[in-house]
Amino acid sequence: MIAMNNRIVFDNFRAMGTDISVEIVVSQEQEKQAHEALQRVKEIFAENEKIFSRFDDGSELSKINASLNKEIAVSDKMFEVLELCVKFNTISDGYFDPRVIGVLEKIGYDKDFKSNDLNTKEAKEIEAEKFEADLLEDLILDAERKTVLIHKRIDTTGIAKGYTVDEVAQYLKKEGWENFVVDAGGDMFAQGLNEDSKNWTIGVEGAPDDKVVLKLQQEGIATSGISRKRWTIGDKKVHHLINPKDPENFSYDIKTVTVIDIKTVEADGRAKTLVLMGKEKGLEFANKNNIKALFLDYRGNVYLSDEIKNNIL
């Protein structure tokens, strides 16, 4: 139970191309320690941005992509994220694929979205590569030596935020903090209870709060969709979620998918997969694989998997 005199110590900052918010429930005596913890949180996000950014030529990801067909050693964090990329590719039947970086660049997403206007009046044909080889043929990992050999460039930014949220959550728990929430642009982890001794709750953007509110405790949540990162090339509407099975066409079947899982990165990878699958196939996949998923379409209709109903407030 949280004491009545507890309050929130928080920080808001920008990192990894998004807005970060961290809240820790503390007593008055813990405020100094909480601010020190928040400083370390900012450092973790900054460190991981240097590893995973595809817009920084000096990042570890950029160095890997500049070393095609060469085996190179990578950091523990990068190796773990690359393993996750392989995992999500396998369990999603190829819908999750880090090799779509070339398609993103062809449609203009070769710079930070927040700081640049990607819209263009000039129409152009999008000749996107389809991947005939399995991901494991183009992304070869050696766990013993912690090396990677790639034959196609890759993009790890799709799950890097969720991975970093989990790392921050582990750090805060290790430091003894029992009640907090970490939010990186909608990729969140909630631990314990809020300052009112109640579950952390989150509304779903685009759906009325009186229609659906989700409760979280010791869980990660991620929302993936096409409502924010979309632009036009001539008359063609495009967005950042590339379907590797049909990369030249951009689906608008679903606005967003929200997934809850034990880890934020697990929710992140699954949410992106379900958006690409579309409502019908995605909902079937979620129920078959016991995924806590909420689908939102452009009419404001909400579709729930069986498992997520336990998180509805």
The per-residue pLDDT for 4 is 47
Strand partners, 166: none
| pLDDT range class, residue 131, cuts 50, 70, 90 | confident
Lowest-confidence pick of 15-24, 150-159, 248-257: 248-257
The per-residue pLDDT for 77 is 98
Is a pLDDT exceeding 60 seen at residue 247?
no
Best CA proximity match to 219, nearest among 250, 186, 241, 192: 192
Provide the whole-model pTM: 0.89
Is a pLDDT exceeding 50 seen at residue 1?
no
Is a pLDDT exceeding 70 seen at residue 83?
yes
pLDDT in tens, 156-178: 988 999 999 999 999 999 999 99
Higher pLDDT, 200 or 6: 200
* Mean of pLDDT values over 280-297: 95
Q: How many CA atoms lie within 13 A of 100 on its CB side?
A: 25
Best CA proximity match to 257, nearest among 214, 304, 201: 304
Q: Which domains does the chain have, with CATH numbers?
A: 1-313 (3.10.520.10)
Is a pLDDT exceeding 70 seen at residue 198?
yes
The pLDDT > 90 percentage for the chain reads 64
Distance CA 55, CA 16 (A): 10
Is a pLDDT exceeding 70 seen at residue 108?
no
* Mean of pLDDT values over 267-278: 92
Coil, strand or helix: which one is 75? coil
Tokens linked to 28: 């008055």
The per-residue pLDDT for 148 is 98
